Every structure is written in C-alpha cells, then in structure tokens.
Amino acid sequence: MKPKITWVLIADGARARIVRDLEATGEVADRLQDLTFDTDQKQLREIMADRPGRSFASEGSRRSAMEYHSDPVREQESAFADMLIEQLERCHAAHEFDGLAIVAEPRMLGLLRQKLSPKLSGAVIKEVSKDWTKLSPAALRRAIVDLGIAAPQHSRAP
C-alpha cells in the first residue's frame, strides 16, 4: 500500500509556501523541499494613486466625485488565493499528495475555504488560523511537528 503523502500550505495575503517533504531529516529538513509563491504586494497608496474621476449629474452642469467600487488589496489577495488553489488542484489531480494541512493568516484562510473545490476540500486534514510565513525553516519544521502531521526529527548519536 502506498504511504499517504501530506502537504502543508502556509500562506498570508502576499506569500505562500507549500511544504512537500514532511519526512525529511537532517540537513534536508533544514532546507525544506517546498514550493514558494510571492505576489507583487503594492502599497495601498500605489494602487489608489489615480483618483476615480468625476461624473456629471444627469440634470444641469453639476459634477461630483466618483467613489471606488472595490477594495484593491482584497482583490489582490483573492487573485493570489485563486492562483494557490489552482496550483493545489493541479497537484492533487496528478496524485502528488493525499492530505493537505492549511496554515494561513485568518483572512487568507477564509478566502481559501471559500475557493476550495469539494474534491480538494475532502483532502484537507487540518486548518490552522495563524501566520507562519515568516518562520525560519527550523522553526517551521518544529511548528509542523507540533501540529501532529509530521514525525519529529531524530538526531543521530555520534
């Protein structure tokens, strides 16, 4: 019987990492075999540098300012979540993993939950609402072990 393969998705609104090799030990565990994703995160003032403009009233010559109809930062995060889900769907369809643990910043976790297909949702074994994107590889390894989805690293005796 083929062993179950579990991946861990770690994400926030601009960065993500998919840890694929949870059974790695030694130096390999320090260099996690993962996929990384980054989005070109722009400051809100850069996104909204252009004002939305002005419109004429339907009667008379009065003009009024138009307002933004969306939140550009949330749209950017939603597009990033779409890209992550698309990547995971492809890998799951190719049988690269059986189980998926999602550790994401709370707002991103909500977006990911909304976008998961029923098939990929069935592969989710754990969800954690935390931001681990800035952890070092060693700290990330310990945190994943603490989740109970990876075996602890055993050091070799000299």
Q: How many domains does the chain have?
A: 1
pLDDT, tens only, 98-134:
999 999 999 999 999 999 999 999 999 999 999 999 9
**Domain-embedded: residue 107:** yes
**Domain-embedded: residue 110:** yes
**Domain-embedded: residue 61:** no
**Domain-embedded: residue 85:** yes
- Residue 81 CB neighbour total at 10 angstroms: 24
Q: Which two tokens stand for residue 30?
A: 């320090």
**Domain-embedded: residue 56:** no
The whole domain housing 16 covers 6-39+70-147
pLDDT, tens only, 33-44:
677 777 765 555
Checking if the pLDDT of 156 tops 50, the result is: no
